[in-house]
């Protein structure tokens, strides 16, 4: 048998995340066996026995690709992200939390003290007369215990390290993961800094798009629970906020197939601000002759920040004034 | 001078965990501390979000058990908006939930916790994984595991949009009706599911229970702890995952509480330690007495064995037989043996599969009446489900516009936080006296908390089935005296 090229060395790591990005890898089902056979996994704390010290001992750029999911919320995550950057030829931000901050970045609408106070002091079930809250340094029976530094804000990965590619989704679908893996294995990659995936809006592929009228003149925006959504008609045409116009295509619209609107988890198309794009899309849909009338129609959007930037708060201008340098 | 042993990193729910073992001068463990070094702050940042968005926001607490959070959340919304879902919506939710319980429990058994037993606790690490399981039970079975999980998750996508972060739930109902075509698929699946659950129990029986060493391990003093137990029961006092009162039994098995969801805060309180981000729930009436077991300590346990312990039985006939077999084999009720968690999990797999069969025949399952729109002014709501890893509580308050003003979340793994600490401590203590720390000890400490998992290693696991475990012996000044870790062959070596 001819000498084959060495398998690409792959690392996987997670920061502030839910584990859904790991689960989507398990959802490759039988294909995961092919992937495992095609690469050499050198670091995957969730699954394998390699330690930080193993990574530290590697030569710089010894890892071909590091897939990092999760936002950066504390000093430990920052440290490992930086370490993997140093040791890797390529870093891929895997999923929304790494790309845009994801759901954890909604915390950027609050501050660290209010988060900690709520969880450990104010909570209805908490009995904490001494008002103890988690501290970085503790002594228990004379021994030192430490916790990582909890940052004031949630950072997207590119705030911390140089990122080569981005994989969208909360989580990315198994199909998209395979596309990315194949692109990497075959070397057929888009320019550095690209999001791996289609660069058009979700509406362009949604099967309800044909029912979307050119002009809508909506008198009212409905909250999702206030209406029984027709399972075949464009949500926007029904007066329900669907993030489709401001969201990147590629997921095969599973939420819409579940008769629920897109909430924007595939993020914006290149160069767009998701919230700004959605605001302008909606502005063109509501009845707009009178300012008051338009404002009334928009009342159905009870939480614009959390709706338009649900997955992209760490990449938005909102809250960025408070953002410390991690 | 005493020493400190750090085990880090271990994997856990959302990120990393760390275990510190404090030893006396002879090297025996005096105290074990399990630290959770991360907080994402969901309870605060959901304030101001529309209540109806909560099922999709809170599912992001955990990508392995998103359905549990989604369902606890939507039940909290039912209460918050004062709407009872119509029978069809309830049937759809229950169907979705039991599909989830089935595949999640199986994932744990075959991919995560099970390899310890099927391949063996002393087997080389490289074999202690799903591939090792496949070798042991046969390639066809291995393929079947992957295949049945795949079909289950495809059905979940058909019903609820997607298996990871589903979009099914709305206050007072569900977003999508189940079609007759899907019902037929569910019927076909449920037959395979019941058969597969039985097969899995048989494998557990043949490989684990028939092996005296394994059975001794399950019954071993190392993994034994007398605590209170908490779980949900239906009106006939049978195990229920979706709805019912919450029962608490004491270490003797006597019912001490049976409460409605809205009363959870009267029963459960949480203790805070400054050295970890995880809180420690306990029974308010008994009180927090530290990391101690027994009737005087308010520490309680949740998850499969806890559910079986609090209930009078299972709601379905085949699972009931297995339930009886479990308790007669161990010989006590409640069962205090932590490793019996694995067995109880499989009894629940069979129960979930049988429930899928029952639900697939329910006339209401495909009814178009899936919404109750008779909303009251938003107020307050508590939603509780039994997540795979235990009782899961979501409690919200909202203003009159339906925006969240306060949220309290007591997640399943947190319910076991104190018990996990204590289980690790017990295993470490029992194993540390006059013994060389080797692969066996690493493995056995690992097994003490893996029984509660995979939410501790949620996200994590373990196609290869190895936990990254490193023991560092340190003196008081944090100077590393000795390190023991696994090499790539799974052998413990000193470095």
Q: What is the pLDDT of residues B292-305, one digit of tens each?
A: 999 999 999 999 99
Q: In what order do the strands lie in the sheet with B470-474?
A: B29-35, B15-23, B3-12, B470-474, B480-486, B492-494
> What is the structure's pLDDT at B2?
57
> What is the structure's pLDDT at B465?
30
At A17, the pLDDT band (50, 70, 90 cuts) reads confident
CB B387 within 8 A of CB B68: yes
Cis status of the peptide bond prior to B9, with omega within 30 of 0: yes
Q: Could you identify the residue written with the tokens 């029986």?
A: B205
Beta strands in B234-352 (DSSP E): 245-249, 255-259, 268-271, 280-283, 300-301
Question: Cβ–Cβ contacts within 10 Å for residue B207, how many?
Answer: 18
Whether the pLDDT of residue B367 is over 70: the answer is yes
Quick one: angle between helices A31-38 and A174-186, nearest 10? 30
Q: How far is A200 from chain B (nearest CA, A)?
A: 22
> What is the structure's pLDDT at B458?
34
A216 and A316 inside one domain: yes
At B71, the pLDDT band (50, 70, 90 cuts) reads very high
At A34, the pLDDT band (50, 70, 90 cuts) reads confident
In a domain, A172, yes or no: yes
Give mean pLDDT, residues A64-79. Answer: 93
In a domain, A113, yes or no: yes
A307 and A261 inside one domain: yes
Strands B480-486 and B492-494: antiparallel
Return the minimum-mean-pLDDT range out of A316-325, B122-131, B196-205. A316-325
In a domain, A326, yes or no: no
Q: Please check whether residue B157 touches A, CB under 8 A.
A: yes
> What is the structure's pLDDT at B190?
97
A235 and A298 inside one domain: yes
> What is the structure's pLDDT at B469?
44
**Cα(B17)–Cα(B7) distance, integer angstroms:** 9
Structural domain of A116: 108-151
Whether the pLDDT of residue A1 is over 50: the answer is no
Whether the pLDDT of residue B263 is over 50: the answer is yes
Contact check, Cβ <8 Å, A16/B410: no
All structural domains of chain B with their residue ranges: 3-38+434-494, 83-222+338-369, 225-336
3-state helix, strand, coil in chain A (%, to 5): 35, 15, 45
At A286, the pLDDT band (50, 70, 90 cuts) reads confident
Whether the pLDDT of residue B489 is over 80: the answer is no
A235 and A162 inside one domain: no
A134 and A160 inside one domain: no
At B467, the pLDDT band (50, 70, 90 cuts) reads very low
pLDDT averaged over chain A?
A: 89
A243 and A299 inside one domain: yes
Return the minimum-mean-pLDDT range out of A106-120, A167-181, B138-152, B199-213. B138-152
Instruction: Select, from the ranges A4-18, A205-219, B202-216, B235-249, the one with the highest average predicted confidence (pLDDT).
Output: B235-249
Contact check, Cβ <8 Å, A258/B163: no
Give mean pLDDT, residues B403-409. Answer: 96
At A268, the pLDDT band (50, 70, 90 cuts) reads very high
Nearest-5° Cα angle at A268, A264 to A274: 75
Whether the pLDDT of residue B43 is over 50: the answer is yes
Q: Which residues contact A153 (CB under 8 A, 6 or more apart)?
A: A107, A108, A112, A314, A319, A322, A323, A324
Contact check, Cβ <8 Å, A302/B401: yes
Contact check, Cβ <8 Å, A119/B279: yes
> What is the structure's pLDDT at B463?
31
Give mean pLDDT, residues B267-273. Answer: 96
At A50, the pLDDT band (50, 70, 90 cuts) reads low
pLDDT averaged over chain B?
A: 85
pLDDT in tens, B309-330: 999 999 999 999 999 999 999 9
Give mean pLDDT, residues B68-97. Answer: 98
Whether the pLDDT of residue A167 is over 50: the answer is yes
A171 and A317 inside one domain: no
> What is the structure's pLDDT at A4?
64
CA B342 from centre of chain: 11
- Judging contacts by C-beta atoms under 8 Å, the chain B residues touching residue A145 are 20, 33, 35, 275
CB pairs under 8 A between A and B: 275
CA B440 from centre of chain: 25
Whether the pLDDT of residue B124 is over 80: the answer is no
> What is the structure's pLDDT at B132?
72
> What is the structure's pLDDT at B464?
29
CB A312 within 8 A of CB A100: yes
- Nearest beta carbon to residue A76 from set B37, B49, B177: B37
> What is the structure's pLDDT at A307?
96
CA B352 from centre of chain: 15
CB A73 within 8 A of CB B38: yes
- Percent of chain A past pLDDT 70, that is, above it, reads 93
ipTM: 0.95
* Tokens found for residue B297: 């300590």
pLDDT in tens, B449-461: 778 864 543 323 2
Q: How many domains does chain A have?
A: 3
Give mean pLDDT, residues B414-422. Answer: 89
Q: Which residues contact B298 (CB under 8 A, 6 or more apart)?
A: B228, B269, B282, B283, B284, B285, B286, B287, B288, B289
In a domain, A1, yes or no: no
A172 and A75 inside one domain: yes
Q: Could you identify the residue written with the tokens 């939507």?
A: B74
> What is the structure's pLDDT at A5?
73
Q: Could you tell me which residue, B18 or A264, shows the higher pLDDT?
A: A264
The yes or no reply on domain B83-222+338-369 and CATH 1.10.645.10 is yes
Contact check, Cβ <8 Å, A145/B35: yes
**Cα(B207)–Cα(B212) distance, integer angstroms:** 10
B166 CB burial (10 A radius; 0-12, 13-18, 19+) = buried
Q: How far is A90 from chain B (nearest CA, A)?
A: 22
* Tokens found for residue B209: 């229970």
Nearest to A46 by CA among B15, B22, B408, B345: B15
- Judging contacts by C-beta atoms under 8 Å, the chain A residues touching residue B139 are none
> What is the structure's pLDDT at A15?
87
A219 and A98 inside one domain: no
**Cα(A295)–Cα(B254) distance, integer angstroms:** 59
| Cα dihedral: A286, A288, A290, A295 (round 10) | 40
**Cα(B95)–Cα(B360) distance, integer angstroms:** 8
> What is the structure's pLDDT at A163?
98
* Tokens found for residue B196: 């597969």
Contact check, Cβ <8 Å, A51/B16: no
A252 and A157 inside one domain: no
For chain B, positions 229-258, list CB contacts with chain A under 8 A: none
A249 and A316 inside one domain: yes
Whether the pLDDT of residue B108 is over 50: the answer is yes
Whether the pLDDT of residue B142 is over 90: the answer is no
> What is the structure's pLDDT at B436?
59
At B487, the pLDDT band (50, 70, 90 cuts) reads very low
CATH number at residue A70: 3.40.50.700
pLDDT in tens, B47-68: 999 999 999 999 998 888 899 9
A49 and A181 inside one domain: yes
- Judging contacts by C-beta atoms under 8 Å, the chain B residues touching residue A170 are 60, 165
In a domain, A191, yes or no: no
């Amino acid at each position: 048998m001819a000498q084959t090229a060495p398998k690409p060395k792959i690392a996987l790591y997670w920061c502030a995340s839910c584990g859904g990005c790991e689960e989507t890898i398990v959802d490759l089902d039988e294909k995961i066996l092919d992937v495992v056979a095609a690469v050499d996994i050198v670091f995957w704390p969730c699954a394998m026995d390699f330690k930080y010290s193993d990574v530290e001992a590697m030569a710089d750029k010894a890892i071909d690709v590091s897939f990092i999911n999760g936002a950066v919320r504390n000093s430990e995550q920052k440290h490992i992200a930086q370490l993997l950057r140093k040791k890797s030829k390529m870093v891929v931000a895997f999923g929304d939390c790494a790309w845009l901050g994801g759901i954890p970045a909604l915390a950027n609408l609050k501050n660290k003290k209010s988060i900690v106070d709520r969880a450990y002091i104010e909570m209805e079930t908490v009995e904490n007369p001494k008002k103890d809250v988690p501290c970085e340094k503790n002594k228990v029976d004379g021994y030192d215990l430490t916790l990582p530094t909890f940052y004031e804000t949630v950072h997207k990965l590119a705030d911390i390290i140089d990122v080569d590619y981005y994989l969208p989704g909360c989580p990315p679908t198994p199909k998209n993961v395979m596309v990315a893996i194949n692109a990497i294995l075959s070397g057929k990659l888009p320019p550095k800094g690209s999001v791996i995936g289609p660069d058009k809006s979700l509406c362009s592929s949604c099967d309800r798009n044909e029912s979307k009228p050119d002009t809508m003149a909506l008198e009212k925006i409905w909250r999702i629970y206030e209406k029984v959504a027709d399972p075949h008609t464009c949500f926007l045409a029904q007066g329900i906020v669907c993030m489709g116009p401001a969201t990147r295509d590629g997921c095969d619209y599973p939420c819409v197939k579940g008769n629920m609107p897109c909430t924007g988890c595939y993020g914006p198309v290149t160069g767009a601000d998701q919230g700004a794009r959605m605001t302008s899309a909606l502005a063109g849909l509501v009845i707009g002759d009178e300012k008051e009338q338009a404002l009334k129609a928009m009342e159905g959007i009870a939480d614009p920040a959390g709706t338009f930037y649900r997955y992209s708060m760490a990449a938005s201008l909102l809250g960025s004034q408070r953002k410390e340098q991690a | 001078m005493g020493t400190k042993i750090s085990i880090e990193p271990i994997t856990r729910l959302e990120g990393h965990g760390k275990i510190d073992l404090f030893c006396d001068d002879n090297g025996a463990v005096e105290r074990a501390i399990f630290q959770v070094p991360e907080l994402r702050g969901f309870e605060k940042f959901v304030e101001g979000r529309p209540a109806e968005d909560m099922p999709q926001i809170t599912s992001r607490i955990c990508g392995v058990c998103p359905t549990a959070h989604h369902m606890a959340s939507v039940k909290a919304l039912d209460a918050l908006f004062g709407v009872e879902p119509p029978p069809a919506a309830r049937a759809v939710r229950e169907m979705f939930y039991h599909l989830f319980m089935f595949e999640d429990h199986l994932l744990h058994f075959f991919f995560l916790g099970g390899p310890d037993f099927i391949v063996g606790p002393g087997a080389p690490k490289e074999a202690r994984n799903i591939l090792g399981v496949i070798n042991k039970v046969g390639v066809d079975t291995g393929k079947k595991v992957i295949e049945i999980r795949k079909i289950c998750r495809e059905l979940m996508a058909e019903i609820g949009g997607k298996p990871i972060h589903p979009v099914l739930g709305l206050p007072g109902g569900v977003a999508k009706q189940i079609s007759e075509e899907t019902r037929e698929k569910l019927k076909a699946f449920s037959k395979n599911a019941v058969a597969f659950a039985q097969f899995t129990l048989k494998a557990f029986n043949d490989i684990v229970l028939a092996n005296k060493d394994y059975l001794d391990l399950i019954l071993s003093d190392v993994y034994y702890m007398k605590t209170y137990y908490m779980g949900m029961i239906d009106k006939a006092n049978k195990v229920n995952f979706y709805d019912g009162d919450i029962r608490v039994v004491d270490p003797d098995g006597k019912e001490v509480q049976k409460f409605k969801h809205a009363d959870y805060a009267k029963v459960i309180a949480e203790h805070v330690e400054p050295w970890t981000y995880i809180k420690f729930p306990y029974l308010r009436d008994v009180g927090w007495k530290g990391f101690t077991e027994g009737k005087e300590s308010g520490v309680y346990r949740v998850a499969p064995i806890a559910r079986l312990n609090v209930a009078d039985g299972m709601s379905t006939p085949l699972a009931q037989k297995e339930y009886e077999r479990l308790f007669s084999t161990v010989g006590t009720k409640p069962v205090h043996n932590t490793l019996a968690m694995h067995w109880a999990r499989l009894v629940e797999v069979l129960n979930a599969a049988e429930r899928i069969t029952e639900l697939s025949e329910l006339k209401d399952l495909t009814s178009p009446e899936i919404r109750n729109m008779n909303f009251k002014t938003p107020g307050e709501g508590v939603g509780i489900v039994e997540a795979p890893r235990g009782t899961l509580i979501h409690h919200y308050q909202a203003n009159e516009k339906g925006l969240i003003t306060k949220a309290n979340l007591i997640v399943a793994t947190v319910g076991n936080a104190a018990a996990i600490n204590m289980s690790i401590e017990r295993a470490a203590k029992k194993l540390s006296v006059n013994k060389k720390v080797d692969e066996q000890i690493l493995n056995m400490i690992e097994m003490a908390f893996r029984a509660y998992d995979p939410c501790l290693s949620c996200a994590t696991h373990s196609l290869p089935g190895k936990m990254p475990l490193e023991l560092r012996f340190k003196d008081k000044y944090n100077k590393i005296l000795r390190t023991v870790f696994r090499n790539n062959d799974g052998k413990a070596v000193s470095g």
